[in-house]
Amino acid sequence: MHNLPKTSKFLFIIALFLLGVLQFNYARLEVMCETVLLNNYHPQLQAAEIRMADDRNSWPNVKYLNLFNVIGQYRHSTATYMGAVIIPSLQMDVPLAAYTADDVYTLGAGMLVPHSFEESNEFIIGAHNIGYSSTALFTPLTFHRLIGRTVLVTNGKSVKEYTITATKVIMPSQVDIVFKNAPNHLILLTCTDNNKKRLLVKCEFKNEYSIKHLHSKIKKEVKRKYRLHNI
């Protein structure tokens, strides 16, 4: 490099700089693309069969999210979603499956322990955090104040309403505590931005009502985002 003309040295330095910028921004660009696809995914909701959910449940096999998997599942999803997790004040609306698997986590959220929506108010629900302050999946949980916010879980027919009462950051080795859930509580689980820790959000059950009584603006969004056939 010492023998290069000054112009060549300058161009070489510029090229290295641009390469660094490209590498730095690629992750952000990937998240932007994932966010657009995830927020424009419109799954058909199907009634959950607990036996099927138990058979498919494989939380330990969930992998890191990447754009290629999002594109693949967006074009042809192999997951079965039965409802949604909605936090209106965060404009967060995530498809929900009655089980957890890699395909479920690619486009939505899943119950870590399958439960019948109709027969229980206690759920442990997880989803990815894709970082960069994205509005997709459970990412908004990691960069907003959460205490007191309303969380809605719906199957397209009825709505279970919860209030966020506590949050806690735990190590991956402590994740078993989420399975010691208190009665009538919902637990939301995601990773921190660096994926080294886990964010646990505890929500207390408040009420259940028909989706007909949901606020008109939220109900309109549910009808826009989800195909409600066969529910």
Instruction: Give the active site residues.
Output: 128, 191
| Residue-level length of the chain | 231
Beta carbons within 10 angstroms of residue 109's beta carbon: 26
Phi first, then psi: give them for residue 203, nearest 5 degrees: -130, 135
Q: Answer yes or no: are the C-beta atoms of 79 and 56 closer than 8 Å.
A: no
CA distances from 47 to 83, 158, 229 (A): 8, 12, 10
Rounded Cα distance, 80 and 98, in Å: 8
Taking alpha carbons only, the member of 110, 31, 34 closest to residue 73 is: 34
